């Protein structure tokens, strides 16, 4: 073996060893909670979510595994069981659904733990912001985010409502009229394209202005008061490889300074920024690349674009929970795509911050 080959081999070993070390460190403190709920979905193929939840949970690199037994006839009872599971779980919790309705209690638990530091990033083709009065389907998976703000079916509403200003919709593109009206009335943040910079700026500006201290690099924080979170429209690319996670800088005119994400005091009086919960409905992916979902919508993200946005969020903020939902397994190509994607998403979110 020549010297060049030897050097390359050593570099490969070092790289692989570092990757394994990071994986082990992340896995040691991860709990995956499997919730095979399907009755909250309105899709005709929703029963596939049972198998999908198990497959997703098996993909998560986790040291601790919990499976919630669902009550197919009682969504509030299932929600109560999920609440018990996530409240008892230690470390970083990944919720593997099932339909999006399984996210009610994991997000509510994050609210209980992190209070008004919490920002919820909702990767989804749909807004999930309907109410029983506005929902065309009557399916709870299309109401769960609205229920977290305090308006939803009996027994399926968060005890401590989430301020809509602390929500950022990511790649949402199929909205019902009632959802659009709610977004416009409340100033919910929305990033419509594969843009990591726009997403992190929207998260930084999602906390109510009263909670943001003056930035040391700006004369006044007043430019963000009374303004809704930025909307960034960017066309989706056609790349499908997970190898590319870099994105070119984007225009974020009118966005607040990045310094805001470290401007909040924590309980020790030290600087603390947003605590981010990330929800991923797999229909956020473009159906031309990934088809194993019950409610596909064109114009979605490519897998590498989703990963880049999640990685950018985890690089800048504390991620305090992750939910991955709505996998309806239907073809082996989608399974092969998901396995490395899920692992990379979890490792990005759960890795120790330094």
Helix (H, G, I), strand (E, B) or coil at 307: helix
- Can you give the pLDDT at residue 27? 66
Residue 237 CB contacts under 8 Å (≥ 6 apart), including other chains = 194, 302, 305
- Can you give the pLDDT at residue 348? 97
Of the candidates 59, 131, 98, the one whose C-alpha atom is nearest the C-alpha of residue 337 is 59
- Can you give the pLDDT at residue 298? 97
| Confidence band for 208, pLDDT divided at 50, 70 and 90 | low
Q: Tell me the average pLDDT of the chain.
A: 82
Beta bridge mates, 65? 32
Q: What percentage of the chain reaches a pLDDT higher than 70?
A: 73
- Can you give the pLDDT at residue 25? 53
Of the candidates 85, 89, 32, 38, the one whose C-alpha atom is nearest the C-alpha of residue 63 is 32
The string over 75-98, giving b where at least 16 C-beta atoms fall within 10 Å of a residue's C-beta and e elsewhere, is beebbebbbebbeebeebbbbbbb
Assess whether the previous peptide bond of 67 is cis (omega < 30° from 0): no
What average pLDDT does range 106-120 have in this prediction?
Answer: 97
Burial class (CB in 10 A: 0-12, 13-18, 19+), 205: buried
- Can you give the pLDDT at residue 354? 60
Cα–Cα distances in Å, from 174 out to 53, 186, 278, 309, 342?
24, 18, 19, 20, 24
pLDDT, greater one: 17 or 185 = 185
Helix (H, G, I), strand (E, B) or coil at 194: coil
* Distance of alpha carbon 12 from alpha carbon 159, whole angstroms: 51
| Confidence band for 207, pLDDT divided at 50, 70 and 90 | confident
Residue 208 CB contacts under 8 Å (≥ 6 apart), including other chains = 116, 163, 165, 166
- For residue 162, pLDDT over 50 is answered with yes
Q: State pLDDT tens for residues 15-61.
A: 334 444 454 555 669 999 999 999 999 999 999 999 999 999 999 99
What average pLDDT does range 121-135 have in this prediction?
Answer: 97
| Confidence band for 351, pLDDT divided at 50, 70 and 90 | confident
- Among 70-79, 99-108, 260-269, 291-300, the least confident range: 260-269
- For residue 214, pLDDT over 90 is answered with no
What average pLDDT does range 307-332 have in this prediction?
Answer: 98
Q: Report strand pairing: 64-67 vs 30-35.
A: parallel
Helix (H, G, I), strand (E, B) or coil at 189: strand
* Distance of alpha carbon 347 from alpha carbon 314, whole angstroms: 10
- Can you give the pLDDT at residue 245? 38
- For residue 103, pLDDT over 60 is answered with yes
Q: Are 329 and 96 in contact (CB under 8 A)?
A: no
* Distance of alpha carbon 71 from alpha carbon 327, whole angstroms: 19
The 10 Å Cβ neighbour count of residue 20 is 10
* Distance of alpha carbon 262 from alpha carbon 265, whole angstroms: 8
- For residue 79, pLDDT over 90 is answered with yes
Q: State pLDDT tens for residues 238-283.
A: 333 343 433 333 333 333 333 333 334 444 444 478 999 999 999 9
Cα–Cα distances in Å, from 258 out to 5, 35, 98, 101, 348?
43, 36, 35, 32, 20
| Confidence band for 352, pLDDT divided at 50, 70 and 90 | confident
Helix (H, G, I), strand (E, B) or coil at 78: helix
- Can you give the pLDDT at residue 141? 98
- For residue 168, pLDDT over 50 is answered with yes
């Amino acid at each position: 073996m020549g010297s060049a080959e030897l050097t390359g081999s050593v570099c490969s070993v070092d790289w692989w060893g570092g990757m394994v070390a990071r994986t082990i460190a992340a896995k040691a403190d991860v709990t995956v909670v499997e919730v095979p709920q399907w009755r909250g979905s309105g899709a005709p193929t929703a029963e596939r979510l049972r198998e999908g939840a198990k497959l997703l949970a098996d993909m998560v690199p986790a040291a601790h595994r919990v499976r919630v037994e669902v009550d197919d006839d009682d969504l509030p009872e299932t929600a109560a069981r999920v609440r018990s599971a996530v409240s008892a779980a230690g470390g970083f919790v990944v919720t593997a659904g099932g339909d999006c309705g399984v996210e009610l209690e994991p997000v509510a638990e994050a609210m209980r733990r992190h209070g008004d530091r919490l920002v919820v990033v909702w990767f989804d083709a749909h807004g999930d912001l309907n109410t029983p009065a506005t929902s065309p389907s009557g399916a709870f998976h299309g109401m769960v985010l609205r229920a977290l703000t305090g308006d939803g079916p009996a027994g399926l509403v968060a005890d401590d409502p989430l301020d809509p200003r602390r929500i950022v919709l990511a790649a949402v593109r199929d909205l019902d009229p009632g959802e659009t009206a709610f977004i416009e009335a409340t100033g919910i943040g929305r990033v419509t394209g594969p843009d990591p910079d726009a997403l992190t700026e929207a998260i930084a500006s999602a906390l109510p202005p009263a909670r943001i201290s003056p930035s040391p690099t700006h004369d006044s924080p007043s430019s963000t008061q009374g303004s809704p979170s930025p909307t960034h429209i960017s066309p989706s690319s056609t790349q499908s490889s997970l190898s590319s996670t870099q994105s070119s800088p984007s225009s974020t005119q009118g966005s607040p300074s990045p310094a805001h994400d470290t401007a909040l005091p924590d309980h020790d009086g030290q600087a603390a920024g947003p605590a981010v919960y990330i929800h991923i409905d797999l229909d956020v992916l473009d159906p031309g690349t990934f088809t194993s979902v019950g409610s596909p919508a064109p114009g979605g993200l490519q897998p590498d674009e989703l990963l880049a946005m999640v990685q950018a969020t985890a690089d800048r903020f504390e991620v305090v929970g992750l939910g991955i939902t709505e996998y309806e397994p239907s073809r082996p190509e989608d399974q092969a795509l998901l396995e490395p994607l899920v692992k990379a998403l979890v490792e990005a979110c759960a890795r120790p911050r330094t």
